[in-house]
């Protein structure tokens, strides 16, 4: 496995760990994990730390959506060919020969060797297949819709983010429940699951302003930026800085609306591996939003949280109490940066107060045992931290479509 993994120096412990549970896998399933490591900068580690058969289901789910996303991203496919492909993609899961060999994208391997992925999809239990096929169908239809139009209103922004990330949150939640590692309620509450995806996706879109506009992509909603500039790319002009920051802060405030739902969602989780999988990207996102808020660098370069900060977050975000503390800490950081003249000031202060109250409320109802983790969980957290250096070097690759499955 080791020489194929392309994300820098992955710790040898990881390789051994992967190898031990890969020995018992079929050749095609091993190939799927290989593709997972090659195409996912942030998810490979946390997916492989999931328990039992859920690990395989999420791995295949990721690869199916990565393949769909690769079709959406590929500018070399003409629209009259791409739209039917996106709409029909879910049907390819049951065609053992289907593949696509004309892609120019960097992750084209998942399309060229789609038969290996679809084979392992068909090997999954029916309840997992139903979830994956359904989400793939709904996402393909949504992607096709947005190929033909720009993100205009704030409502459309929510809709676009729902298609490319909210549906991922919903699908994952249904897989968690199908595996019986989590209660049926987790999979049923699609509103909360959708918020999990929207929070990650909006954070990525906000952070990746410069890279996206330089590549001719526009994901900031027109309803927001048109209040401050004639064209979205004008926000990068030095003389526009004050307007640009006003627009940025408006979008950060909108993203923060999802945090109360994130707190509720995470507090329902019971399985440790699922909790880590869900919580780590969310705390990364709030740390990233705090770094972006009122920060001119969003319009001048890449805004990233520091590596040390990220590793600390990964190692700490293993129980609800710690996650509450992290959310409270970054909400306070944002609060201290709110300027007296910012047009969104009142809205920002309001949502920060809601988050503070929500955190305090659910803190008080937490069982005290969540504060103490066994050494096994801590070593798992350290392994995650070692594994997740890839996470940090990512930039906009995932703002496009399902790279955001989250987590950034």
Extract the tokens encoding 250: 């408006």
Shared-domain flag, residues 264 and 370? yes
- Its sign, for the CA torsion 30, 32, 38, 44, is negative
4 burial (CB, 10 Å; 0-12 / 13-18 / 19+) is: exposed
Q: How far apart are CA 48 and CA 150, in angstroms?
A: 36
What would the pLDDT profile of 320-357 be if each residue is shown by its tens digit? 999 999 999 999 999 999 999 999 999 999 999 999 99
Shared-domain flag, residues 384 and 293? yes
Extract the tokens encoding 192: 């909360």
Determine the pLDDT at residue 406.
Answer: 38
Determine the pLDDT at residue 389.
Answer: 41
CA distances from 306 to 169, 184, 311, 389 (A): 26, 37, 9, 11
Size of the chain, expressed as the number of residues it contains? 408
Q: How far apart are CA 268 and CA 290, in angstroms?
A: 25
Flag whether 129 is in a domain.
no
Flag whether 306 is in a domain.
yes
Determine the pLDDT at residue 282.
Answer: 96
**Sequence-ordered list of residues with C-beta below 8 angstroms from that of 228, at least 6 positions apart, any chain:** 235, 240, 243, 244, 246, 247
Extract the tokens encoding 236: 């990068």
Flag whether 165 is in a domain.
yes
What is the 8-class DSSP label of residue 404? G
Q: How far apart are CA 62 and CA 56, in angstroms?
A: 10
Instruction: Give the three-class secondary structure for 10.
Output: coil
Shared-domain flag, residues 74 and 214? no
DSSP string, 252-313: HHHHHTTHHHHHHHHHH---HHHHHHHHHHHHHHHHHHHHHTT-GGGGTS-----HHHHHHH
Half-sphere exposure of 129 (CA within 13 A, CB side): 14
pTM, full prediction: 0.85
Is residue 85 within 8 Å of 160, Cβ to Cβ?
no
Instruction: Give the three-class secondary structure for 42.
Output: coil
Is residue 106 within 8 Å of 87, Cβ to Cβ?
no
Domain residues for the domain of 60 are 1-85+95-124
Shared-domain flag, residues 244 and 332? yes
Q: How far apart are CA 202 and CA 254, in angstroms?
A: 9
At 178, which CATH number? 1.10.600.10
DSSP string, 315-332: HHTTSHHHHHHHHHHHHH
Shared-domain flag, residues 118 and 242? no
Is residue 175 within 8 Å of 47, Cβ to Cβ?
no
Shared-domain flag, residues 62 and 163? no
Q: How far apart are CA 289 and CA 281, in angstroms?
A: 12
Shared-domain flag, residues 259 and 356? yes
Flag whether 166 is in a domain.
yes
Q: How far apart are CA 61 and CA 287, in angstroms?
A: 27
Q: How far apart are CA 149 and CA 309, in angstroms?
A: 38
Is residue 324 within 8 Å of 391, Cβ to Cβ?
no
Shared-domain flag, residues 274 and 386? yes
Shared-domain flag, residues 102 and 239? no
Determine the pLDDT at residue 309.
Answer: 87
Spans in the chain with pLDDT lower than 70: 1-23, 362-408
Q: How far apart are CA 257 and CA 224, in angstroms?
A: 16
Flag whether 135 is in a domain.
no
Give the total number of structural domains in the chain: 2
Around Cβ 141, how many Cβ atoms within 10 Å? 16
Flag whether 108 is in a domain.
yes
Flag whether 254 is in a domain.
yes
Shared-domain flag, residues 186 and 58? no
Shared-domain flag, residues 44 and 183? no
Which residues are known to be catalytic?
Answer: 160, 207, 217, 277
Determine the pLDDT at residue 302.
Answer: 82
Shared-domain flag, residues 236 and 345? yes
Determine the pLDDT at residue 21.
Answer: 52
Flag whether 145 is in a domain.
no
């Amino acid at each position: 496995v080791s020489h194929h993994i392309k994300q820098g120096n992955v710790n040898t412990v990881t390789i051994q760990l992967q190898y031990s549970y890969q020995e018992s896998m079929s050749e095609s399933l091993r190939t799927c994990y290989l593709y997972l490591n090659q195409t996912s900068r942030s998810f490979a580690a946390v997916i492989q730390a999931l328990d039992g058969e859920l690990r395989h289901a999420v791995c295949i789910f990721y690869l199916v959506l990565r393949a769909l996303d690769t079709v959406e991203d590929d500018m070399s496919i003409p629209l009259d060919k791409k739209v039917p492909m996106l709409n029909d993609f879910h049907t390819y899961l049951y065609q053992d020969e289907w593949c696509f060999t004309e892609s120019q994208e960097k992750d084209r391997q998942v399309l060229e060797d789609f038969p290996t992925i679809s084979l392992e999809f068909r090997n999954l239990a029916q309840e997992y297949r139903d979830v994956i096929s359904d989400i793939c169908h709904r996402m393909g239809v949504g992607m096709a819709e947005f190929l033909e139009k720009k993100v205009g209103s704030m409502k459309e922004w929510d809709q676009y983010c729902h298609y490319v990330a909210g549906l991922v949150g919903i699908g994952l939640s249904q897989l968690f429940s199908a595996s019986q590692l989590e209660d049926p309620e987790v999979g049923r509450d699609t509103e909360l699951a959708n918020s999990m995806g929207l929070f990650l996706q909006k954070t990525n879109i906000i952070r990746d302003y410069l890279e996206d506009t330089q590549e001719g992509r526009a994901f900031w909603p027109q309803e927001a930026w048109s209040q401050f500039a004639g064209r979205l790319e004008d926000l990068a002009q030095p003389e526009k800085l004050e307007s640009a920051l006003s627009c940025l802060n408006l979008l950060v405030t909108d993203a923060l609306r999802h945090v109360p739902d994130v707190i509720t969602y995470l507090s329902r989780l019971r399985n440790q591996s699922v909790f880590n999988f869900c919580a780590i990207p969310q705390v990364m996102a709030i740390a990233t939003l705090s770094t972006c808020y009122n920060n001119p660098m969003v319009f001048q370069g890449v805004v990233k949280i520091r590596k040390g900060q990220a590793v600390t977050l990964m190692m700490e975000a293993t129980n609800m109490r710690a996650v509450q503390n992290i959310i409270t800490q970054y909400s306070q950081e944002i609060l201290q940066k709110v300027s007296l003249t910012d047009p969104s000031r009142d809205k920002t202060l309001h949502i920060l107060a809601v988050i503070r109250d929500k955190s305090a409320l659910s803190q008080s109802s937490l069982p005290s045992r969540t504060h103490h983790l066994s050494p096994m969980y801590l070593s798992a957290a350290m392994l995650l931290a070692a594994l997740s250096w890839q996470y940090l070097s990512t930039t906009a690759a995932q703002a496009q479509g399902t790279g955001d499955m989250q987590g950034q």
